């Protein structure tokens, strides 16, 4: 058993954690085939002493927001109508047998017909502790004509639950999904909500920003820069699990990692296929930062942060039309 017997109110101080990088998932792969790959990763995690494993964003399917589909309902085949459903149940069962908590990203279609890019936190006994629905949806509602299509705004609605924190495997885990990791607000809200560890799943292609020179090293550097800054500035651990390798002709960056509150990458995937990276989470690493440099209670000055909550855009800039992701043009308001 890798949970140290230092439980205080259900919270542990040390636990072995795993980040499950998943190689490309091709459009023709069935849910059953994907789930079999995930179970193999969970078994590897158990053999290496893990109690908590994080999987990528939209783990169960290829990254379908890269495709334009005229009929919106045609993409519903990529969405899960319930969780766990019969195809995914074997993952829940095997993880519970092995005593492993996990975070899993997938496309959620609610009974009310809403579409979300979702992650769930599942505890060691197989119960779902909670759900997060992606807030920062990148790309466009209509990318036709752009070489690198990224249509999350077309296929998903903006998450409606903020940034929640759930206790699984005795750790307070905050959830975020892919593009969320590039926004300082994500980590700060999760830290304010009490997260000790932030679990992030992602799908990042090498060529994600139209018009930008797609230098491979830059995509990886920006990813690591984001998760390292989030961890350090908020005194939290970050577990970032990506898809990797080639998915239907599109290359994803991989780079799945564990980052400690010091901002150090303590474990990093080196391959482009299914791969588990493992590290020991230790709550004590965060303590000196929380006591001194990033002692929020002592040093934060929310009275000077009003613009963050009240204003969206840079002063003088105009917003952008979106689709399922909601809302008409957001004309930014200049607040002096």
The distance of closest approach from Cβ of residue 180 to ligand CDT in the complex, given in angstroms and rounded to an integer, is: 8
Cβ neighbours around 158 below 10 Å, total: 18
User: According to CB under 6 A, which residues from 241 to 260 bind ligand CDT?
Assistant: none
Say how many residues make up the chain. 336
Binder among 178, 200, 239, 240 for ligand CDT (CB under 6 A): 178
Cα–Cα distance measured from residue 238 to residue 223, given in angstroms and rounded to the nearest whole number: 12
At residue 251, φ and ψ (nearest 5 deg) are: -95, 130
**DSSP state letters, 41-66:** HHHHHHHTT-SEEE--TTTTS--GGG
Q: Which residue in 108, 134, 152, 153 is the catalytic one?
A: 134
Per CB under 6 A, 202 contacts ligand CDT: yes
Write each residue from 122 to 151 as x if it is in contact with ligand CDT (CB under 6 A), else as -, in one continuous string: ----------------xx----------x-
Catalytic (active site) residue 178: yes
Candidates 179, 186, 256, 322; binder of ligand CDT (CB under 6 A) is 179
Question: For tokens 């636990």, what's the residue?
Answer: 15
- 57: annotated active-site residue: yes
CA 294, CA 50: separation in Å to the nearest integer? Answer: 29
DSSP state of 145: T
Which residue in 59, 124, 203, 322 binds ligand CDT (CB under 6 A)?
A: 203
From the list 59, 61, 204, 285, which residue makes contact with ligand CDT (rule: CB under 6 A)? 204
Q: Which helix (H) or strand (E) holds 238?
A: strand 237-247
Least distance CB 57 / ligand CDT (angstroms): 6
**Which member of 50, 178, 257, 275 is catalytic?**
178
Choose between 51 and 118: whose C-beta lies nearer to ligand CDT. Answer: 118
Smallest gap, in angstroms, from Cβ of residue 213 to ligand CDT?
A: 15
Angle among Cα 225, 310, 135 to the nearest 5 degrees reads 50
Nearer to ligand CDT, 62 or 204 (CB): 204
Q: What six digits make up the tokens of 38?
A: 């995930």
208 touches ligand CDT by CB under 6 A: yes
Which DSSP symbol is given to 225? H
DSSP 318: B
Helical packing angle, 31-47 and 89-98, nearest 10°: 10
Interface residue list for ligand CDT (CB under 6 A): 57, 138-139, 150, 178-179, 182, 202-204, 208
> Which residues does the annotation mark as catalytic?
57, 134, 178
């Amino acid at each position: 058993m890798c949970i140290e017997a230092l439980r205080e109110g259900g919270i542990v101080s040390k636990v072995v954690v795993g980040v499950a990088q998943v190689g490309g998932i091709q459009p023709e792969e069935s849910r059953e085939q994907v789930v079999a790959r995930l179970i193999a990763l969970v078994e590897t995690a158990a053999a290496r002493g893990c109690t908590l494993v994080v999987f990528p964003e939209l783990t169960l399917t290829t990254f379908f927001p890269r495709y334009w589909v005229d009929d919106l309902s045609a993409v519903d085949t990529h969405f899960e109508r319930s969780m766990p459903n019969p195809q995914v149940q074997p993952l829940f069962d095997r993880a519970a047998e092995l005593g492993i908590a996990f975070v899993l990203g997938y496309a959620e279609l609610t009974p009310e017909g809403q579409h979300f890019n979702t992650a769930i936190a599942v505890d060691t006994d197989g119960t779902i502790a909670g759900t997060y629905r992606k807030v920062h949806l990148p790309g466009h509602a209509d990318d036709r004509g752009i070489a690198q299509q990224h249509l999350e705004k077309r296929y998903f609605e903006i998450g409606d639950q903020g940034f929640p924190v759930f206790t699984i495997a005795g750790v307070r885990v905050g959830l975020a999904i892919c593009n969320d990791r590039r926004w300082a607000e994500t980590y700060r809200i999760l830290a304010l909500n009490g997260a000790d560890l932030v679990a992030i799943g992602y799908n990042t292609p090498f060529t994600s920003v139209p018009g930008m020179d797609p230098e491979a090293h830059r995509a990886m550097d920006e990813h690591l820069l984001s998760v390292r800054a989030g961890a350090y500035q908020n005194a939290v651990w970050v577990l970032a699990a990506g898809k990797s390798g080639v998915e239907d002709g599109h290359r994803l960056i991989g780079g799945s990692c564990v980052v400690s509150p010091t901002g150090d990458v303590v474990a990093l995937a080196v391959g482009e296929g299914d791969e588990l990276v493992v590290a020991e989470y230790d709550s004590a690493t965060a303590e000196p930062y929380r006591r001194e440099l990033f002692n929020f209670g002592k040093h934060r000055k929310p009275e000077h942060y009003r613009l963050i909550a009240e204003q969206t855009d840079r002063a003088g800039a105009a917003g952008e039309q979106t689709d399922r992701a909601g809302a008409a043009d957001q004309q930014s308001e200049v607040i002096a």
